[in-house]
Amino acid sequence: MNENLSQNGALVDVEGVDKIFHRGSEDIHVLSNLNLRVSTGDFLALMGPSGSGKSTLLNLIGGLDHPTRGTVTIGEEKIGRLSDRALAAWRSRHIGFVFQLYNLMPMLTAERNVELPLLLTHLSRVERKKHVETALAVVGLSHRTTHYPRTLSGGEQQRVGIARAIVTDPTLLLCDEPTGDLDRKSGDEILDLLQALNREHGKTIVMVTHDPHASARASRTVYLNKGQLSNEPLK
Partner 1 sequence: MKFFQLIWSNLRRKKLRTCLTLLSVVVAFMLFGFLSAIQEALVGGVALAGADRLIVREKVSIINLLPASYEARMERIPGVDFATHQTWFGGIYQNPKNFFMQNPVEPEKFLKMHPEFILPADEEKTWLATRTGAIVGRRTAERFGWKIGDKIPIRSTIWPQTDGSFTWTFDIVGIFNGKDKGTDTTPLFFRYDYFDEARNFGKGQVGWYTIRVKDPSQAAEVAGRVDDEFANSPAETKTEPEGAFIQAWASQLGNIVFIVAAILSAVFFTILLVTGNTMAQAVRERTGEMGVLKAIGFTNGQVMALVLAESCLLAVIGGLAGLGLACAITPVMAQKLSGLLPLFFLPARALFIGLGLSIALGLVTGIIPALQAMRLRVADALRRM
The torsion of the CA quartet 166, 64, 35, 5, rounded to 10 degrees, works out to 50
**H-helix or E-strand containing 39?**
none
**H-helix or E-strand containing 215?**
helix 212-215
Q: By CB under 8 A, is residue 134 in contact with partner 1?
A: no
Q: By CB under 8 A, is residue 20 in contact with partner 1?
A: no
Angle at 113 between CA 115 and CA 209, to 5 degrees: 115
**H-helix or E-strand containing 41?**
none
Give whichever of 25 and 83 is closer to partner 1, judged by the CB atom.
83
Number of residues that bind partner 1 (CB under 8 A): 28
Give the CB-side neighbour count of residue 190, counting CA atoms within 13 A: 33
Angstrom distance (rounded) from CA 109 to CA 3: 32
Give whichever of 65 and 169 is closer to partner 1, judged by the CB atom.
65
Buried b (16+ CB within 10 A) or exposed e, 103-141: ebeeeebbbbbbbbbbeeeeeeeeebeebbbebbebbeb
Long-range contacts of 125-131 (CB under 8 A, 24+ apart): 131/167, 131/168
Count the Cβ atoms, other than its own, within 10 Å of residue 203.
22
Question: Smallest gap, in angstroms, from Cβ of residue 149 to partner 1?
Answer: 12
Give whichever of 87 and 221 is closer to partner 1, judged by the CB atom.
87
User: Of these, 6, 52, 59, 209, which contacts partner 1 (CB under 8 A)?
Assistant: 59
Phi-psi region of 212 (alpha: psi -120 to 50; beta: other; left: phi over 0): alpha
Question: Smallest gap, in angstroms, from Cβ of residue 100 to partner 1?
Answer: 9
Question: Smallest gap, in angstroms, from Cβ of residue 82 to partner 1?
Answer: 12
User: Of these, 3, 8, 9, 101, which contacts partner 1 (CB under 8 A)?
Assistant: 101
Give whichever of 56 and 145 is closer to partner 1, judged by the CB atom.
56
Q: By CB under 8 A, is residue 62 in contact with partner 1?
A: yes
Q: By CB under 8 A, is residue 65 in contact with partner 1?
A: yes
Q: By CB under 8 A, is residue 89 in contact with partner 1?
A: yes
Q: By CB under 8 A, is residue 108 in contact with partner 1?
A: yes
Give whichever of 39 and 121 is closer to partner 1, judged by the CB atom.
121
Q: By CB under 8 A, is residue 48 in contact with partner 1?
A: no
Q: Could you list the residues that contact partner 1 (CB under 8 A)?
A: 56, 59, 62, 64-65, 84-85, 88-89, 91-93, 97, 99, 101, 103, 105-108, 112, 116-117, 119-120, 125, 128, 164
